[in-house]
Structure formats: C-alpha cells, structure tokens
Structure 1
C-alpha cells in the first residue's frame, strides 16, 4: 500500500470522527396558563360584566386576554367578543342577544402569539328585554352636575318598587356605590358634587315588588363633566421665620379659576407630607423641622370643586444647627 493511499485513509478517518457536533435541542416554549375564577356581575338583556384572575405566565409575557362566547348546542365557531390587557377587573361584554344562554371563557395570549388553555366556562342567560330599563342618558351637564334619565322597563308600574343609579364596581373587591335612588314613577335624577372634567359610568337597576330573584340592570352609560379652569399657582413663597426646630412660610394668594379657593396644601420634600390650611384666607404655615436637615417646600391651591392648581415655585432651606 503506497504512502499516498495511507494518507488518504487517515484524512477520511479524521473527517468522519471530528465532524460537527450534533445540534442541541432548544428548550421547550411554555404557553400561558389558564385564567382562573371567571365570574360575572350585572347581567342585563344585552351585556354582562366579566372578571377573572390572571393566568400564570409561560416562557413569554402575557400580551392580552381573549374572551370567547358560544351558544350551547350551536355548531357555529366560538366567537371572540373582546380582547383586553386587564385581569381581576370587570370587563363589559356587549352585543349579546336578550333571553339567550351563552357559555363564556377566557384565554391568555403571550407576546409571541402563543395561546394558553381556556378557563373553565361560565354560563349566563341574558334577561328578557322587556324587564330591563334603558341605559342612563345624560343631559344638562355642567362641571359639577348632570341630569341622568332612563327608559323604564316594559312592565306594569305596579311591579316596580323603584330604581337605583349605581356606579358599578371596577373589581370584584370594590364595593357598590349607589348614587341615587328613586320611586317607581321617577326615571330621572340630578347628580351634584361631581368633579369637573371627569368621566363617570352608571347603570340603572330596577327593584321589583313581585319576588323577581334579582333586579334587572340596564346596560352602561357614561357622562363626562365639563372641564373647569383651575386656580393659578400660589406665588411669592417665602421663608419668613426659621429656627433649628421650626419654620414659617407665607405666600401670595392664588387667583381663582371657575370656582372659589377652598384651601391651600403645603408639600414638604416632594409631597411626602401634605399639610392643609383650614381655609382660603390663611396663607402662612408653621411646621416642625430638624436641625441641620434640608427641606424642599411648595404650595398648591384647591378650589371648591376639588381642582388643584399647579405647584408654586419650590423653596429650599436648611434648618440651622443647634
């Protein structure tokens, strides 16, 4: 056997035994878990509020939750009714048919597009439209007031005990807030004490007299109050007296916006401590300090509608050492 042949065999053997290593298997991608504890509130003729607890995160963060509805016994595909990034809040689901049974479930989808398993379904049956009042409608809106009215249900008035105008809870642990209650023949109320430039959500619940298992709620309605002009910032904030243990500051009054000034708030070191003056005519304040410490202070005005001014200029001072 010649030398050239031996070298060829050796080279072939080396190529076989030192070839590329086999590729390592990539780690499996885990989808999100199933959302838990799906629950409902305020089922009406065409809407329901749905809530669930967050799903466990898989390999990638959760991007959205998808809510599906299906009608038992139907062969149509399950319908995607909404997507949301929220969990453990009540999500309004609309577009339902009156007096119809649905099964609803939720799935989490991660940032890569991978969808996790469905939650346990929750079964609902929407109410007959004739027993449900119309959604709240708003008229005569100002910065702090609004008139809310609604259409009564199509039932005899002797079945109706009255109505409640409710701010629906945003989460399963938030209490119900009843803003107004009326008798059976009153389908309009005027709300006062609202905040300017604020959106409110309401439903109307009719209370029945004939033993109906639950009151019938309307669909949601919203109102946004008129924005108001805030007070101007207080000016000329000045340290008038400074000792190792106390400081007194004074300032020039704010100019009112749409509402009279109610009081002033003094904020110390970034607002960690808010000190309220008892009234609009007192524009000086004294509070305790510690020797050698440095303080940053600013003041804001608040009007009778609860609207705050922008902060005054910030004053910085250091309490003298004892």
Structure 2
C-alpha cells in the first residue's frame, strides 16, 4: 500500500475515533407509591370523610391526591370526586348519591403529572336521604356564643332518640368530640365559650331508637363567631427596683376591649418570663436577673375571651454588676 493510501486510512480511523460518544440512557422515572386508606367516618346520604396514609415519593414530588369512585356493576368510567394536597387527615368527600354503594380509592400524582398506583378500594353504602338530618346552620352568633339549628330527618319522631352535635376529628387518631346532645324534639343548640372571630365545623348525628341504622350524620356545617375588640397594649413599662440579682417590672393597666381583662403575660428576650402571670388588678412582677446582663421585656394583656392585646413597648435594661 502506498504512502498516500496509508495516510487516508489513518485519517479515516482518526475521524471515527473522535466522533460523538453515544448518549447515555436516562434513568427511569419512578411514579409515586400507593396510598393506603386509613379509614372513613360520618357516612351520610351524599358525603363521607376519608383518610389515607401518604404515598411514598417517586422521582418527582407529589403534587396532589385524587379520590375516585366506582359503582360496582356499572360500566361507566370511574368518577373523580376530589383533588387535594392533604394526607393523613379526614377529607370530606361529596358528590355521592343517597342509598348507593361505591368503591372509593386514592392515587397520588406527581408534579410532572405521572400518577401512581391506586390504593385498595374501600366499599361504602350511602344512607337513604330521609334518615339524614340537615347540616347545622348558625341562626345567631356573637363573639363567644352561637345558636345552631338543623332540619330533622323525614322520619316519624318516635324513631328518633335524640341528636348529638359533634366536632369532627381531623385525623384518624383524634377522638370524636360531642359538643352537646339534645332530645328527639329539639333541633337547635346554644353554644358558649367560643373564641371570637373563629370558624367552627360541626355535624349533627341523629340517634335512632331502633338502631337500624344506629345513627345518621348530617353534612358538615360551619359557624363563624363575630370578631372582638382586643384590649389596648399595656403602657408605661418600667423597672422600679433593680439589683444585681432581681428586677421589679411595673406597667399601667390596659383598657378593656369587648371583654374584661383576665391577666397579663410578661416576656423577656422573646420568651416567657417564667413567673406567675398576674391577674387584672396586679401590674407588677419581680424576677431573677444575672449581674451585668441585658434584658428586653414587654407585657401583653389577655381578656376573658382569650383575646390578646398587642405587645407593650419593649423596655431594655442592664442589671448592675456585683
């Protein structure tokens, strides 16, 4: 082979050897894991509360959980009932038909839109609408009280043993709280001890004398109390007595808002002072200090409805040395 041919072969080999490297195969994308249904509560004519364990995260973060329903024996697509970011809390599921059997399941979907496997289905049978009371409705609400009423179920009154007004638990580990109970002919309740400017969620459960079914819960209802004027901030904060090891703090009383002052809370360097909180007629506290240390203190008032004032102005002082 001549020199010219040898140079041509070498050049061709060099071009092949220096060509682009084949692309590496991308890593497979893992979808979210399978949620596990943790339980149901308060099955009604058209609603049920459903809770599930969080799914394991795949390649991408979980964006949402989707709750689906299928009706056994029906050749229709499964129905998407709700989409939520919640997990391990009871999620109210609506859009169901009375006296109907459903299989509910949950699947996670990640931020790329990739769905994970469906959970094992849970079977429910909604109640007939005639045995379910109406949701509680606020007929009168103040800052700390509210009257709620509900529509009785369309059954003979002799079948009703009474009603329970219930605060639904948020998670499967929380207990059910019965706020009040009434007799069979009472379909309203007066609530006291509420916090101003707060929304409460309730359901009504009808208790039946025949026990079949044992009870029938209403859909959820909410009650929002009226806002309240808070106390004014304490004023004229000062240290009246100061030694290397103790300081006595005093202030001028707050002006009450809508409710009388209950007590004062004192704070030092951003945390609680660590002394008993004085009542409304005591406006001084004594607490331990360290020689040469600097302290920032302030005070807040709280009224009998549990509403706090804004903080007083911060007072700064340094304990004298020994």
State the TM-score, normalized to the length of structure 2.
Answer: 0.95
Once the two structures are TM-superposed, the CA of residue 275 in structure 1 deviates from its matched residue by 4.5
Q: CA deviation at 1:309?
A: 0.8
Contact 1:38 1:120 in 2 (8 A): no
Tell whether the 8 Å contact from 2:237 to 2:312 is kept in structure 1 after alignment.
yes
Deviation at 1:17, TM superposition (A): 2.4
CA contact (8 A) 1:38 1:119 kept: no
Deviates more, 1:33-42 or 1:218-227: 33-42
Residue aligning to 1:52: 52
Question: Aligned-pair distance for 1:36?
Answer: 1.4
**1:180-221 C-alpha deviation (Å, 9 max, x unpaired):** 111111001111111110000000011111122531100000
Q: In the TM superposition, what is the alpha-carbon distance from 1:165 to its structure 2 partner? A: 0.5
Q: Which whole-Å CA distance do the structure 1 matches of 2:235 and 2:95 have between them? A: 53
What secondary structure does 2:320 align onto? Answer: coil
Are the equivalent residues in 2 in contact too, given 1:235–1:312 (CA < 8 A)?
Answer: yes
Aligned to 1:100: 100
| Secondary structure of residue in 2 paired with 1:14 | helix
Tell me the equivalent position of 1:9. Answer: 9
CA RMSD, 1 decimal: 1.6
Cross-structure match for 1:169: 169
Aligned to 1:109: 109
Task: Please give the alpha-carbon distance, in whole angstroms, between the structure 2 residues aligned to 1:203 and 1:195.
Answer: 19
Q: Which runs of 5+ in 2 are unaligned?
A: none
Aligned partners of 2:38 and 2:172 also within 8 Å: no
Does structure 1 retain, via aligned residues, the 8 Å contact 2:54–2:87?
yes
- Secondary structure of the 2:59 match is coil
CA distance in structure 2 between the partners assigned to 1:237 and 1:157 by the alignment: 63
- Residues 285-309 of structure 1 show CA distances to partners (whole Å, capped at 9, x for unaligned) of 1122334443322111111111111
1:1-322, aligned counterparts within 5 Å?
1-273=1-273, 275-322=275-322
Q: CA deviation at 1:146?
A: 0.9
Matched residues in 1 for 2:44 and 2:274: separation? 44
Aligned residues: 322
Say whether the 8 Å CA contact 2:278–2:285 is kept in structure 1.
no
SS of equivalent residue, structure 2 residue 141: coil
Contact 1:180/1:189 (CA < 8 Å) preserved in 2?
yes
Q: CA deviation at 1:274?
A: 5.7
Q: Deviations over 1:132-185 (max 9, x none)?
A: 111101111111111100111111111111111011101111121111111111
Deviation at 1:272, TM superposition (A): 4.5
Where do 4+ consecutive residues of structure 1 move more than 4 Å? 272-276
Assess, with a 3 A threshold, how the Cα gap between structure 1 residues 274 and 177 changes in structure 2: closer, same or farther.
Answer: farther
SS in 2 for 1:102: strand
Query: Which ranges of structure 1 fall in alignment gaps of 5 or more residues?
Result: none
Q: Could you tell me whether the CA contact under 8 Å between 1:265 and 1:275 is conserved in 2? A: no
User: Per the alignment, in what secondary structure is the counterpart of residue 140 of structure 1?
Assistant: strand
Residues 228-253 of structure 1 show CA distances to partners (whole Å, capped at 9, x for unaligned) of: 11111111211122223222101111
TM-score (norm 1): 0.95
Q: Distance in 2 between matches of 1:119 and 1:3?
A: 73
